[in-house]
Amino acid sequence: MSLTINTNHAAVTAGYNLSRNNDALQKSLARLSSGKRIIQTSDDAGGLAVSMKLNASINRLRGVSNNIQNAMSYLDVQDGVLQGAASILSRMAELKALSQDVLKNSSDIENYNTEFKNLQVQLYQVSQETFNGVSLFAIKATDGTTDAVFGGGTGLDNTVSIYTTDRGSSGPIVSVSKALLLSSITFDSSVVGTSKAFGSSGAITLAVSNSSSASTLSAIKTSFFTQAIENVATLRAENGGTSSRFNFALEQANRTRTTLEAANGRIMDVDIAEESTRLAKYNILVQASAAMLSQANVTPNAALMLLG
């Protein structure tokens, strides 16, 4: 190789290698400090695109899990109210039986009637309970105009839709029913055990908004209480069935989120052992390149000896 002064080929080459090795060292440091394999889009454009989609699904599933748990809380509160309603109905049935005692005079029966009317008001009040402003029980059907009737079919039930996957409305949906408490304890006076819409004509209800409009014990048949308790038991069974489904839906959502996080980790997470090995290599190469650049820079000094 010729000896030149203006162009130091060895120094140019050493400088180029030093720059490359330093860039590789900086990238390795960035990967180890962030824990990510993909720092820039150019590192793995396809992998980054897949990771972004997986991250979006993971975040949606996190929201789905929260929604499912809120729906389960809704059902827990609803079931608690239904349990209280069943206790009230049991006490009302007991009052009916006590009022039929031949040893009770009219004054005694009126005392029972006072409690009976108050319990009807209490039943109505519990039917107005809400969960964060959302009513727990329905009076109107889904269309908002037709009165909902207990046992009238799902088309007449008010429901709240809960999405259980990250696909939203295009995925599985669980419908949470606003239990038809008032309709379940309102009957056709001419046909014992036949439910009627709350507020409809010819109906006898065990729940009223004020004691002045409450029915007396003599106006309610014993069979009404039996049917009312059975209807409330049906509402609680429906509540329990939906809660059970939510338990499995929540487990599935969490399991799916876990597997997606693992898949995303395989794409994005850096292999610490492998990258540490690269870091050591690039550290040595940077130092070696810097040393060779220094050596190459002093090589042209030999030309001074010839000129002297």
d(CA 34, CA 2): 47
Instruction: Quickly state the pLDDT bin for 7 (edges 50, 70, 90).
Output: confident
DSSP per-residue letters across 231-294: HHHHHHHHHHHHHHHHHHHHHHHHHHHHHHHHHHHHHHB--HHHHHHHHHHHHHHHHHHHHHHH
CB 206 within 8 A of CB 185: yes
Query: Exposed, middle or buried: residue 215 (CB in 10 Å: 0-12, 13-18, 19+)?
Result: middle
Q: Tell me the chain's radius of gyration from C-alpha atoms.
A: 39
Q: Write the pLDDT tens digit of every residue in 265-289.
A: 999 999 999 999 999 999 999 999 9
Query: Exposed, middle or buried: residue 232 (CB in 10 Å: 0-12, 13-18, 19+)?
Result: buried
Q: Write the pLDDT tens digit of every residue in 110-132.
A: 999 999 999 999 999 999 999 99
CATH number at 63-266: 1.20.1330.10
CB 190 within 8 A of CB 58: no
Identify residue 275 by its one-letter amino acid code: E
